[in-house]
Every structure is written in C-alpha cells, then in structure tokens.
Amino acid sequence: MQESARRGQWMPGREAPDVELVQETRGAEPPLPRRRRRRGVALPVFSLLLFTGLLYAAWELISLAHVVPDFILPTPLQMAQDFGLELSRGDLLANAGVTLQEALGGFALAGVVAGVLGYAIARLRPLEVLVAPFIAASQAIPVVAVAPIIILLLGAGLLPKVLIGAVVVVFPLLITVVTGLRGVGRDYHDVARVFGASRLQTLLLVELPLAAPTLLSGLKLGLTLSIMGAVVGEFVAADSGLGFMISNAVGNFEVSTRYVALIALAIFSIALFGLVTLLERILLRWQDV
C-alpha cells in the first residue's frame, strides 16, 4: 500500500486527495532544514556585526566627549593605525602565534585529563566521592598564585604555560564530561548491551553522540578559558606572547600596544568560539532531521 501511494496510484479505501497530500508534504520537507541552516549562519554573523558596531559607536562617543583622556583610551582611528602598524612589523602575529600554541596545548592536555577522569567518575560513583575534595580544593586556589610556583619548578619555556592553561581549563571540562555522560539515559545502555556492544562501542556509538551537545558547550568554554590561562602564564614569566606584550606595554607606558594586544585576544576568542559553533552545527545536523 505504501509503495502504491509513493507511485501516486489510487487504492481502495484511500482517497486520491490523501495521495496528493502525501506528495505535497514530501515535496515541502527539504526546504525546512535549509532555512534553519541559513538562519543558523545569519544570526551569529548579525550578532557579531551588531556587537562590533555598538562597541565602535560607544568608543567613538567616549572619545568625542573627552570623557577619558587620549593617553588612557586612544581613539578608534588611532587604534586602527597602531593595529595595522603592529601587523606590518610582524610582532603581533609572532606573539599571537606563541599565545595560540600555549592555549591549544593547555586545552589539549586538559581535554585528555578531563576525558579520562570524567569517564571514570561518570561510571564509578565511589570515585566521585574520593576525588571531589581534591577538585574543590584545587578550585579554591587562584591560578595567579599557582603560576609562579609552576614557573619556578619548570622554568619559563613552553611547558609551564601549557600546564597553567590546563589548570584553568581542566575543571570546567571535567564537569562537562561528567554531566554529559550521566545525561545519557539508562535505556540506551540497556539497548546497547542487548545488541552485544562492548564498552568502547557503547562510548563511541551511544554515549558520545548523545552527550555531544553538552560536550561541545564545554568545548566552547574551555577554548576561551585556555587563552586566559596562557596569558596568565605569560604575565608571570615570558619573553613572547600577547600577555608579554601587555605586561611590557604597561611597564613602558605604551597604551596603544596594550589595547592592540587586548583586541587580538578578543579576536582569538571570537574566532575559536565561532569555529566550535560551526563544528557543533555540522556534528549535530542529525537533530534537525
């Protein structure tokens, strides 16, 4: 009967308008996901443009009203000129590359630790009771206070900056992993067990896809926090990076250089957030079906 309806043939007990309705409905299905995708792309772009326009307008009004002296807050035109000058010299790109390397390294290290430990905590309730005091105590200690100790122990190279970034990121990622895995219903585990799936297959084919929305939200937060962790490490001891640019500019009273580095950090955060948002839309496309 269904085959005949697909071919548009009339069958006893089913009136012709029903077949036409099925055909019209089938023809109307494809545009919906496309429209959703267009909205999903246009809205973040519009939000970014709106944020940039409002920020520029507020900055320009403050400069024109002379609310803040120019040696504290330069005009947007002056900042654009200084930004272009730093780009032409190559210093900004070189320092930004160092900070990005430290941030991604810290995020990767934190991701491995949070993934392994989070999976174990999600599966073993007693482990959560044992680990919870250590996690709570670690979050009570400011990273700014721990960073000098890490620098003294490991030196001023790349490794301590990566470790500081991982310390900042690991707790949010750990909570995200535990929350996402525990949010998968027991029914899905039972079905996987009935079909003979191993623990690894259950993780890859059941738990990760269903926990993906939560995990990707944590990914957005973790990437932006990793940049902050890298900058904190550069504040303590570094000879390159955007954090070094800021601290060096403050010491030399170079106000414009400090704002250039801050703008570069904001661009980095927005770009990483946007990339993860794009990845989220690609991986979670099945939810629109």
Instruction: Please list the residues that pair with 14 across neighbouring strands.
Output: 11
Residues with Cβ < 8 Å from 248, sequence gap 6 or more?
254, 257
Q: pTM for the full model?
A: 0.76
Q: What share of the chain is helix, strand, coil (3-state, %, to 5)?
A: 85, 0, 15
Model confidence at 246: pLDDT above 50: yes
* Confidence label for 109 from pLDDT (cuts 50, 70 and 90): very high
* Confidence label for 10 from pLDDT (cuts 50, 70 and 90): very low
Task: Tell me how far CA of residue 83 lies from CA of 62, 68, 78, 124, 125, in angstroms.
Answer: 20, 20, 9, 51, 52
Give 111-152 pLDDT, tens digit per residue: 999 999 999 988 888 888 888 888 777 777 888 888 888 888
